[in-house]
Structure 1
């Protein structure tokens, strides 16, 4: 069956291309796991998890993402990266897993395995058993990014394709709250999570994305996630991923 080709054209693409210089990009291809950390600048137990994520971000076989939640903002310090959407995503993961509570620092490995984000031994154990079955190929041509996700085994379920722009590293001086007085380095800071298409195992898909539209000022990383589509619409197992850093 011929590959289905989707062209994801966003408004003002041609305008964005003007005056934007091409830069070298670093790709992470065929990782074994996507690590999603739910964290907060106002959480006293989160800095060790943030540090661990920063170290794991250096691993070429791992894609790391930090979602800063907003539900600790009331305790005296408003997380400068927090978004309600991140808290909502964490709650959706909890509903999918049949859990009634959410917490920080929580890390999800490939959307299914839940560990405390500051427990490196547990994280490494989960990574050792992790795998991603769907190949995601990225290619940058000027300011256009081609995402090629070929066909796969027929026993894999349909999936959604997400683009996740992130800031690779930033330092924040915490002035109030539980972490008052600390200068903390954060990594892989998610800015948004945008649905851009669907993938089916018996149909390969190709997307073309204008890079400047997704990576605006301050954003230097972009992850592509292929995540299982569940019947109840909640986030399922991570099937494939890739990322780029410029």
Structure 2
């Protein structure tokens, strides 16, 4: 009996993961990620490959929104990260202000926009996600999205406070041959690497529905996007994430 129950649980978890990361995400209420894990990494950082692998495991785990932001401040070390951007670096420095830190580091993970941890510590990351969820500081506002022709349809439930609706576009998988720098000679795989970040609307506590052009995702060749409902500490300074979901660019437009 125990073996049968364990098998059924594994099947249920697999189905849940498929519903989150399939071409069209499940409707509101069908799937709720436990939290948002944002990794700040670099191809030029010798300490980052273990954290990049952990992020891939979290993607496979299927119960969190997992994103990799490639920063550009290590590019001087001899290898320019092919996925890096100033936008990713600015986001990490914004979190440093939020958390009262004077510096940033790689590999750094931010959980729910609320706390940081070394990106290689998978158990610690999962513990933080669970602790925030248990304490009511997880994803408390329902968010759902789906592709519909040339649109991405977003549905956000009601709740307390105000927040930005942020769309984070990402590649699903990149395998890079690093030819110089600290990781020279290594072939590294990266998951859910962020390529663009856009704020598309404001949420003020009431349920809303939005349509945004799917063309941004399709034209950029991005495999998917995360919709984050994120409070702001001040202009340009990201705060707590209170709702999130993922939609993949599957099927024809």
TM-score category, normalised to shorter length: 0.7 to 0.9
Alignment partner of 1:143 out of 150, 161, 166: 150
Q: CA RMSD in A?
A: 1.5
TM-superposed deviation, 1:108: 0.5
Q: How does 1:168-207 map to 2 (within 5 A)?
A: 168-201=172-205, 203-207=206-210
1:27 aligns with 2:25: yes
1:70 aligns with 2:72: yes
Q: Secondary structure of the equivalent of 1:124?
A: helix
1:60 aligns with 2:62: yes
Q: What TM-score do the two structures reach when normalised by structure 1?
A: 0.85
TM-superposed deviation, 1:236: 0.6
Over residues 116-157 of structure 1, what are the superposed CA-to-partner deviations in whole Å (9 max), with x where a residue is unaligned? 0011221121122132001002132223221011212xxx32
Runs (4+) off by over 6 Å: none
TM-superposed deviation, 1:214: 2.8
Over residues 182-222 of structure 1, what are the superposed CA-to-partner deviations in whole Å (9 max), with x where a residue is unaligned? 00000000001101000011x22211012122332431111
Q: Secondary structure of the equivalent of 1:215?
A: helix
Q: What TM-score do the two structures reach when normalised by structure 2?
A: 0.83
- Tell me the equivalent position of 1:17: none
Contact 1:170 1:187 (C-alpha < 8 Å) held by counterparts: yes
Q: Secondary structure of the equivalent of 2:54?
A: helix
Distance change in 2, residues 1:220/1:206 (3 Å): same
Contact 2:169 2:195 (C-alpha < 8 Å) held by counterparts: yes
Q: Which has the higher helix share?
A: 2
1:221 aligns with 2:224: yes
Over residues 84-138 of structure 1, what are the superposed CA-to-partner deviations in whole Å (9 max), with x where a residue is unaligned? 1111111111011110010000000100120000112211211221320010021
- Tell me the equivalent position of 1:11: none
Q: How does 1:1-246 map to 2 (within 5 A)?
A: 25-27=23-25, 29-130=31-132, 131-152=138-159, 156-201=160-205, 203-231=206-234, 233-245=236-248, 246=250
Name the structure, 1 or 2, with higher relative contact order (CA <8 Å, separation 6+). 1
Structure 1, gaps ≥5 residues long: 1-23
Structure 2, gaps ≥5 residues long: 1-21, 133-137
Q: Secondary structure of the equivalent of 2:96?
A: helix
